[in-house]
Amino acid sequence: MQNQFDKELQDRLVRYAAIDSQSDESVPTSPSTACQFDMLHLLRDELVEMGAQDVELTEYGVVLATIPGTAPGPTVGFLAHVDTAPQFNASGVKPRVIGGYNGGDITFPDDPALVLSPAEHPYLAEKIGHDLITASGTTLLGADDKAGVAIIMTMARHLLNSPDIARGPIRVAFTPDEEIGHGVNERLPADLRADFAYTLDGGQVGEIEYESFSADRAVVTVTGVSIHPGWAKEKMVNAIHLAAKIVQTLPQATMTPETTDGRDGFIHATDMEGGSSEMVIKFILRDFERDGLAAKGELLRQVCAAVQAGEPRAAIKCEIYPQYRNMRYWLEKDMTPVELARAAAEAEGVAPISVPIRGGTDGSRLTEMGVPTPNIFTGMQCIHGPLEWISVQDMATATRTCLRLAQMAAKG
């Protein structure tokens, strides 16, 4: 079922996915991991080789390049991130291609007990005959977002080899550390030099997204009273017990990721580290509205204050830090980039779907910083875990949609 772009996309994703480029949220510098430079240097060199202009790797770890325009029009940016999620093993990825998927269960050579079933994943059932790419069972694949990287690189090569295609200037950018919320350096909007842009970081075919979560992170530090346990009666204050009480006091049935969907936000305890003398709990707070996000932060503070009041000998500190805000607040003022992407999808025979992203993209920050940046589908599925998979043909549809978008932008 191979068509135009399929072989190149397949080869690029298999090659890119095998490169370890996992980010690390415990490291404050960006890129947070040296291994991300393996991808960044590779992409820089490939862009130079294919003839892109203004190719650079910035000191803050972003690869930028220009695909020259052949007609008047706005400068359109296309972005993808090179890092893979820290939530699951991403070292030693062994991508594999399942040609002409037959519709049955998919098993994994490195974990025979793992099964990807169309009965549990209805979108997979729609991909009979497609060429699928998965990992081997013990790692994620990294299609999030190396599928986006492969799509942009394929589009760039095609445009550079097709001067007859009328389009305005195209800027491409490959960012680090998106998965840990550090992908958009404060200098990127000016360096991107785009009138508007798109992230290639979406899921099923047709997704044109302009709403994301608003996000904060929180760090709660619980300091107890440490003393030898043999003489601890009425003296020790165990920070582990207090940390557990904070987590258990928060709404478990209505405000965690596993109990929410749609437009519901959540408070998610992501990490808990320490010992009886001191514990650190990390949370992420998510809501689609500013008021809802603020309310979740206030709830966390109130719970910490209540546990503190119950044990005044302890010290409980709750710190909340902003991450990103719903891109809708800015995009809804001028939906031109969204409507252009929808029109491009429709021109390729794809029905556009706009649903809120239960997460964020680099576009969330870029939009807030003045570069309108909705999100476009790649086809990636079951991301951040060992069942991750993608259809090569879905990637090809995304590539054609982006090419169509570039041409339609030049026409005004």
Annotated binding site for Zn(2+): 81, 144, 179, 201, 384
Nearest to residue 180, comparing CAs of 89, 272, 86, 91? 86
**How far is Cα 395 from Cα 103, in angstroms, rounded to an integer?**
19
The Cα-based distances of 83 to 57, 90, 185, 293, 299 in angstroms read 15, 10, 15, 27, 32
Label residues 160-189 b or e (16+ Cβ within 10 Å = b): beeeeeebbbbbbbbbbbbbbbbbbbeebb
| Sequence-separated contacts (24+) of 119-126 with Cβ below 8 Å | 121/381, 121/382, 121/387, 123/204, 123/381, 124/381, 124/389
Catalytic residue among 178, 211, 311, 348: 178
Question: In which element (H, E) is residue 126 found?
Answer: none
Instruction: Say if residues 64 and 171 touch (Cβ distance below 8 Å).
Output: yes
Contact 277, 224 (CB under 8 A): yes
The pair of structure tokens assigned to 93 is 């990825």
Find the distance separating the first CA and the last CA of the chain, reported in whole Å.
Answer: 34
Radius of gyration of the chain (CA): 23
Q: Which residues contact 349 (CB under 8 A, 6 or more apart)?
A: none
Residue 174 to residue 78: CA distance in whole angstroms: 9
For 411, other C-beta atoms within 10 Å of its C-beta total 11
Reply yes or no on whether 83 is catalytic: yes
Task: Identify which of 279, 343, 341, 335 has the alpha carbon closest to the alpha carbon of residue 307.
Answer: 279
Give the residue numbers of the binding site: 81, 144, 179, 201, 384
For the CA atoms of 229, 232, 233, 235, what is the dihedral angle to 10 degrees? Answer: -150
- The catalytically annotated residue of 83, 209, 287, 311 is 83
**What are the catalytic residues?**
83, 178
